Structure 1
Amino acid sequence: MHVQAGHPSPWFQLIPIAIILVVLTLRMRRLTRERPLKIEWLWVVPALYVVIAGVTFWNLPPSPMTWAVAFAALLAGAALGWQRGRMMHIKVNPETHEISQRGSLAAMAFIIVLVLIRTGARNAESLGIPGVHFDVMAMTDVLIAFALGMLTMQRVEMFLRARRLLEEARAA
């Protein structure tokens, strides 16, 4: 098979998909295990992501149209993040009041669907789907905003629910 310079072999496009599948397989194995949930640390990931998003938007400010779409993506991410947070299993040990969490298959399936949509959108133009063209920088800005909304609201929902469950366990 002859490949022209500048056009990677279609087989190279399968490498990221294989890596994603391996990571998701390993993650699925860990879903059934309960892990301690430290609600006082739930703010860390959103705070780090706010810094990353802020630096990204500061260094290369989006166009006004991209800002509008990114804001809509932030809101959509927040709504989906809240739903994903609701899918996480959280329980409080009634004797020790330790909080634990366990991922759900629905939450993992949710992430898989998002990854597939993103991969499909990113590769639509290279796959030759007619009429599809993406501004890569704008798409990146929109995905950063979406992820910020999703990561933040997932953890907000988990924090509020864990705190409520902890208060109920202490009252019992």
Structure 2
Amino acid sequence: MHEQVALPHGWLQILLPLVIFGVIMAIRAPRLMRLRPLNVDRLWIVPAIYCGVVALIFVQRPPSVTGWGIAALGLLAGAALGWQRGKTMRIERDPATGQLMQKGSIWAIAFIAVLFALKTISQNEGGALHLDVTLLIDGLAALSLGVFSAQRLEMYLRATRLMKSAQV
């Protein structure tokens, strides 16, 4: 009789999303590292969509008092991380056209990868580590909202300062 060797329970649930994410990032990374136009008027769209997603998560399963506290901490931590991530994005003004241009950094890509890995591992292994998965989801949803919002706010403020200095 042949013995089957299997990954410990849950590891496939962790490994598969991480591999898929790695492949997607490998495909997208060159595009993210290219200089491309920055449309300042559209920076609000991703945070607004994600705010709706987080609101839906909280409406469908309202957090406990502890959950709201963890979500608030997640939002603050996410805002701090997002601000730093926003600072890693290069923004410049094309002298010929006056168009604002942006370029991601390898640190921004690494940052996304680390957050994704932490989120995947905590969601899949939270129960095994005797963590309340609902609290993890509340905190990680708010953390992500903070990251997306603060990153784009930092980029917006820097881009508008750059445009104003060019007009002087």
Classify the TM-score, shorter chain. Answer: 0.7 to 0.9
Match of 1:164 among 156, 161, 164: 161
- Is the alpha carbon distance of 1:123 and 1:49 closer, same or farther for their aligned partners in structure 2, counting shifts above 3 Å? closer
Q: Secondary structure at the match of 1:25?
A: helix
1:90–1:102: 8 Å Cα contact kept in structure 2? yes
2:145 corresponding residue in structure 1: 148
- Is the alpha carbon distance of 1:62 and 1:99 closer, same or farther for their aligned partners in structure 2, counting shifts above 3 Å? same
Matching of residue 139 in structure 1 with residue 136 in structure 2: yes
Please, what TM-score do these two structures have when normalized by structure 2? Answer: 0.87
Distance 2:36 2:83 in 1: 20
Distance 2:130 2:97 in 1: 55
1:37–1:100: 8 Å Cα contact kept in structure 2? yes
User: Could you report, residue by residue, the CA deviation over 1:76-116 in whole angstroms, capped at 9, with x for unpaired residues?
Assistant: 00000000000001111123210111100111111222223
Q: Secondary structure at the match of 1:101?
A: strand
Name the aligned partner's letter for residue 163 of structure 1.
T
Q: Secondary structure at the match of 2:150?
A: helix
Distance 1:158 1:119 in 2: 27
- Is the alpha carbon distance of 1:125 and 1:69 closer, same or farther for their aligned partners in structure 2, counting shifts above 3 Å? closer
- Is the alpha carbon distance of 1:12 and 1:135 closer, same or farther for their aligned partners in structure 2, counting shifts above 3 Å? closer
Name the aligned partner's letter for residue 159 of structure 1.
Y
Q: Which runs of 5+ in 2 are unaligned?
A: none
User: Could you report, residue by residue, the CA deviation over 1:23-70 in whole angstroms, capped at 9, with x for unpaired residues?
Assistant: 111122213311111000101111111111112212211010011011
Distance 1:142 1:149 in 2: 10
**Residues matched between the structures, number:** 164
1:47 corresponding residue in structure 2: 48
Q: Secondary structure at the match of 1:100?
A: strand
1:94–1:169: 8 Å Cα contact kept in structure 2? no
Please, what TM-score do these two structures have when normalized by structure 1? Answer: 0.85
Name the aligned partner's letter for residue 101 of structure 1.
Q
Stretch deviating more after TM superposition (66-75 or 49-58): 49-58
Moved over 6 A (4+): none
Matching of residue 84 in structure 1 with residue 85 in structure 2: yes
**Residues 10-159 of structure 1: pairs in structure 2 closer than 5 A:** 10-11=11-12, 13-124=14-125, 132-159=129-156
